[in-house]
Structure 1
Amino acid sequence: MEEDASPAELSRSQGFLKRHKILLIILSTGIILFGVLTLTLVLYTQDRGQIAKGVILEIPLGQLPIEEAHSKLKQLRNETYKRPVQFISGDKKFNISMEELGFTYSYDEPLRQASLIGREGTLFNKAISKYKASFGITFKPDYHWNDQVLTEALTKHLSTLNIPAEDAHFSINSDNSLQIILEKPGKQVDINSLITSIKKQALDEAQIISIPFSTVTPSLTKTVLENVKLNKHLSDYTTCFNPNQKERTLNIQLASKALDGLVLKPGGVFSFNNSVGPRTAEAGYQEAIIIEGNKFVPGLGGGVCQVSSTLYNAVLLASPSLNVIERSRHSLPIAYVPPGQDATVAYPTLDFKFRNDSNGYLLIRSSINNNTLLFSLVIFS
Structure 2
Amino acid sequence: MTKLKDPITLPNGTVLANRIAKSAMSENLSNKTHEPTSILINAYKEWAKGGSGLLITGNVMIDSKALGEPMNVVIEDDRHAQQLKEWAATVKGTDTHLWVQINHPGRQAMDQINNVLKAPSAIPLKSKSRKKATTKIPKALTHDEILDIIKRFGTTARILKEAGFTGVQIHGAHGYLVSQFLSPYANVREDEWGGTFEKRAKFVLEVYKEIRSQVGPDFPVGIKLNSADFQKGGFSEEDSMKVIDLLSKAGIDLIEISGGTYEAPAMMMGNRKQSTKEREAYFIDYIEKARKITKTPLMLTGGFRTVSVMQNAIASEKLDVVGLARPYCLFPNIGNDILNESQSTFPVNINKTGVKGIDGMMNIIWYEAQIKRLGLGKLPKLKLSAWSVFFNYLFLIFKFKLMKK
TM-score (norm 1): 0.24
Q: Which has the higher strand share?
A: 1
Q: Which has the higher helix share?
A: 2
Larger RCO, structures 1/2 (Cα 8 Å, 6+ apart): 2
Q: Which has the larger radius of gyration?
A: 1
TM-score (norm 2): 0.23
